Amino acid sequence: MSEKKILKGIKVAILVTDGFEEIELTAPLEELEEYGATVHIISEKTRVRSWKKREWGSEFNTDRSIETAQWDEYDILILPGGVINTDRLRRNSDAIKIIKDFDNKAKLIAAICHGPQLLIEAGLVKGRNMTCHRAIATDMKNAGADYEDYGLLVDANFITARGAEDVSAFLKKIIGILKVQNQY
């Protein structure tokens, strides 16, 4: 199997709504597809708008809705950051239930920047070694996580990254773990 198709058969769900950090969706989408994974953008909306630096960015069509996605089919859930995105998603009870279900099944959850805020909302961070954007570090600590200001951390089925500047390491770790999982 060619190196660029090592993730053939892997299904990836990227859960977003308006206001996600653009690079935190586009980089995983493009790179994981290059490696052969099937990647779906999932939202409560049919079209979502990104945040890019300090203003609204590109719009993206979604592949599935939160309500109709066949969540058991996915091997990994990616939670991009973006203040607006996570603030809206944490108020969506279906999104929080999905995150809890992924964790209950010990499926991989990868959250970057403000994405770990959704793990806080789901009540999943206590005692976990995690990182996130510095703006929610206090929230992470108050929720009981063992927070570290570090670019990337892995704790059991969680991969967390500090922010967009860490997206390359984030993707490298995701691909490495999925490659190993795909061999079995």
Residue in this structure with the two tokens 């939670």, named with its chain if needed: 79
Q: Give the relative orientation of helices 23-34 and 167-182 as an angle to the nearest 10 degrees.
A: 40
133 labelled catalytic: no
Residues whose CB is less than 8 angstroms from the CB of residue 81 and which lie 6 or more positions away in sequence, other chains included: 20, 21, 24, 111, 112, 113, 114, 115, 133, 163, 164
Q: Which helix (H) or strand (E) holds 174?
A: helix 167-182
Q: Strand runs (DSSP E) across 10-156, as ranges?
A: 11-15, 20-21, 38-43, 47-52, 55-61, 64-65, 76-79, 108-112, 129-130, 146-147, 152-155
Of the residues 49, 64, 114, 128, which is catalytic? 114
> Pick from 41, 77, 86: which is nearest to 62 by CA?
41
Q: Catalytic positions, please?
A: 114
